[in-house]
Structures are given as structure tokens and as C-alpha cells.
């Protein structure tokens, strides 16, 4: 049995994503996203699942930055899952949840519920945690503190908390993309792969210098080959204000012709190009049926 690392503790959204993508593997929780990625590099686990991007809040910067600057590995698969945030309290605080003085949760989850917090708990102090599940666990351990966690239903059950308010995320279409990372390149086989499965090839591109039309030239290399791009993200290189690299996801599997020729053309233009992975993409619904709420089988 393989071991899959995930951002824990049990009951995080990332665990639900890992349980859906690789249900037969042993799930191993880690405290932070960098710890989870290090575990793959140090071969404590075969692979890891980490959150990459949320439909409301955008990229999970710590994942992208740690991946690029510290722990370059291979993106081997992706799963996109629905995210429903709930306000969880201890039984002691559930009736009077509007009186809680502090809200614990992961920054992405807090950001997904800004309007709810502004409207209902404007005075509450926000305390950021490593994951939504660690916030829920904290509330379990401190039931008398007038505090709440923002987390999912699995965490409510795992840590014996009450769902004081359901579905508090500000936008209905709340979804997060999670990636499965491996140390080396692998072709991720999955029984759900069909001829219609979407593949992406993710690349990191840095420009040779800043000149008019530099990014246009990069995009043209994809455009004239009719390669559809499904994401363009810029992140600071951390070498000085105004210096960026780009993460570009092409909607195709790495092949022997088109992707190598794009890479060659971009390098000829003086760009730095790294292929970060070429991987199948699944949706939660595809792998789990139409259930909206994450269910995790305990092992």
C-alpha cells in the first residue's frame, strides 16, 4: 500500500481530496503545506496532495511559491472539489454563536467567508490556522472559549462540534483545485481515465528581459499551434519588485511534437522554461458521484 501525505489533520478538505483521488492508499497527515511537500522529497511518503487554487480566492500562494522556490517536483494529477464552509462551535457555544469573540480558520477559508464575517461577526478577532481541520480540532480542545472554527462537515463530526451556521461561503461556486505531487515524473494511471479525460501540461516560464511584447511573444508560441491555455498566473520571482515568472497551463497532454516545439521556441526567445508536470484532471463529482459534501472513509 502506498502512502499519501496531505495537509492535515484528519478532516481537512485536502484529506477529502486525497481520499477521493487515491482511496486505497494510507493517508498521512502533515501540519503545513511545505511539510507535506518535504515528505515527498524525503521519501517519507510516495506522493502528496496539496491545495493549489480556489475559485474565490485564487492561488494558494504558499503551495505555488514553495513548489517553485524550494521543492520542485512533479504534478501528477489534479482533482477539483466543491468547498462548503460551515461555522462550527462547541456544544456550549452553538446556541449563542453570534457572541463568539474569535474565529479560527485557514486564511483561504476566512477569505471565502469575508462577507458573512462582516455581517454577522464584525467584532470577532480572526486567528489563522494551518488548516480548517486544525481550527476545528482547536475548538474541540478548548470548548469553553467563546470561539468558532470555519471548516467542513467532516471536521465537525471528527471533532464532535456543532454546525452553528451552514454554508457560510460568500459565493456558491466555491471550488478548489488540489494537485498530487510526486518526486519524479510519473504517468498517473487511474481507473477513471477515459479518452475524454482532460490533461493539462503545466509550465513555468520566465522572460529573458522586459521589453514591449515579451509576454505576447510567449503567448503567440501557444496560439499559432492552437494550444488552448487554461491558466496564466504571474508570481514574483522574489528577486526584486516588478520581476515575475508565469505559470501557464496548456489543455493537452505532453506529446512528442507540440509541447517540445513550444519549449524550444520559447528558449530560442531567451525564456526560461520548465515543464512542471503533465497530468490528468478529475472532478470530485466524476470520482464520487454527485455528492456535494465531502465524505471521508476512515481508515
Ligand X SMILES: O=C(O)C(=O)C[C@]1(C(=O)O)C=C[C@@H](O)C=C1
What's 144's DSSP letter?
T
CB atoms within 10 A of CB 265: 18
d(CA 283, CA 174): 13
SS3 269: coil
By beta-carbon proximity to ligand X, the closer residue of 49 and 204 is: 49
Q: Which is nearer to ligand X, 109 or 179 (CB)?
A: 109
**Cβ of residue 156: shortest distance to ligand X, in angstroms?**
12
Reduced to 3 states (helix: H, G, I; strand: E, B; else coil), residue 5 is strand
Closest distance to ligand X from the beta carbon of 95 (Å) = 26
| Nearer to ligand X (CB atom), residue 93 or residue 112 | 112
Residues 32/53, Cβ–Cβ less than 8 Å: no
Q: Which residues bind ligand X (CB under 6 A)?
A: 7, 12-14, 51, 54, 60, 83, 106, 108-109, 131-133, 176
Specify the residue, 181 or 263, whose C-beta has the smaller distance to ligand X.
181
**Alpha-carbon torsion (11, 169, 64, 281), positive or negative:** positive
> Minimal distance in Å, beta carbon 155 to ligand X?
8
Consecutive H or E run containing 128: strand 125-128
Nearer to ligand X (CB atom), residue 129 or residue 182: 129
Nearer to ligand X, 13 or 47 (CB): 13
Nearest approach, Cβ of 13 to ligand X (angstroms)?
4
13 or 222: CB nearest ligand X: 13
Q: Distances from the Cα of 85 to the Cαs of 13, 154, 160, 171, in angstroms?
A: 10, 11, 16, 11
Cell numbers linked to 157:
463530526
Of 62, 52, 19, 290, the C-alpha closest to 154 is: 19
The torsion angle over the Cα atoms of residues 25, 28, 34 and 37, rounded to 10 degrees, is: -30
> Which lies closer to ligand X via its Cβ, residue 57 or residue 219?
57
Q: How far is the CB of 83 from ligand X (least distance, A)?
A: 5
Residues near 23 by beta carbon (within 8 Å), at least 6 away in sequence: 297
Closest CB 177 distance from ligand X, rounded Å: 9
CB of 78 to ligand X, least distance (A): 14
Helices (H), the chain: 13-21, 33-41, 61-69, 107-112, 114-120, 132-141, 153-158, 214-223, 258-268, 284-288
Please state the closest distance from residue 8 (CB atom) to ligand X, in A: 9
Amino acid at each position: 500500500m502506498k502512502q499519501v501525505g496531505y495537509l492535515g489533520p484528519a478532516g481537512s478538505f485536502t484529506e477529502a481530496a486525497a481520499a477521493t483521488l487515491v482511496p486505497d492508499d494510507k493517508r498521512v497527515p502533515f501540519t503545513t503545506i511545505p511539510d507535506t511537500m518535504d515528505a515527498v522529497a524525503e521519501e517519507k511518503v510516495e506522493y502528496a496532495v496539496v491545495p493549489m487554487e480556489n475559485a474565490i480566492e485564487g492561488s494558494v500562494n504558499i503551495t505555488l511559491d514553495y513548489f517553485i522556490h524550494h521543492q520542485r517536483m512533479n504534478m501528477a494529477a489534479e482533482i477539483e472539489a466543491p468547498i462548503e464552509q460551515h461555522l462550527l462551535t462547541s456544544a456550549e457555544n452553538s446556541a449563542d454563536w453570534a457572541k463568539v469573540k474569535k474565529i479560527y480558520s485557514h486564511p483561504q477559508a476566512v477569505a471565502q467567508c469575508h462577507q458573512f464575517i462582516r455581517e454577522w461577526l464584525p467584532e470577532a478577532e480572526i486567528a489563522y490556522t494551518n488548516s480548517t481541520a486544525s481550527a476545528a480540532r482547536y475548538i474541540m480542545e478548548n470548548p469553553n472559549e467563546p470561539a468558532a472554527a470555519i471548516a467542513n462537515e467532516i471536521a465537525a463530526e471528527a471533532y464532535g462540534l456543532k454546525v452553528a451556521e451552514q454554508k457560510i461561503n460568500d459565493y456558491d461556486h466555491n471550488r478548489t483545485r488540489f494537485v498530487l505531487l510526486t518526486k519524479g515524473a510519473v504517468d498517473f494511471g487511474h481507473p477513471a481515465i477515459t479518452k475524454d479525460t482532460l490533461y493539462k501540461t503545466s509550465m513555468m516560464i520566465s522572460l529573458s528581459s522586459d521589453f514591449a511584447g515579451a509576454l505576447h511573444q510567449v503567448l503567440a508560441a501557444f496560439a499559432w499551434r492552437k494550444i488552448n491555455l487554461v491558466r496564466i498566473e504571474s508570481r514574483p520571482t522574489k528577486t526584486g519588485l516588478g520581476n515575475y515568472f508565469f505559470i501557464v497551463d496548456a489543455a493537452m497532454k505532453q506529446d512528442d511534437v507540440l509541447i517540445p516545439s513550444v519549449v524550444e521556441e520559447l528558449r530560442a526567445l531567451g525564456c526560461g522554461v520548465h515543464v512542471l508536470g503533465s497530468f490528468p484532471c478529475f472532478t470530485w463529482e466524476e470520482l464520487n458521484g454527485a455528492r456535494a459534501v465531502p465524505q471521508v472513509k476512515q481508515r
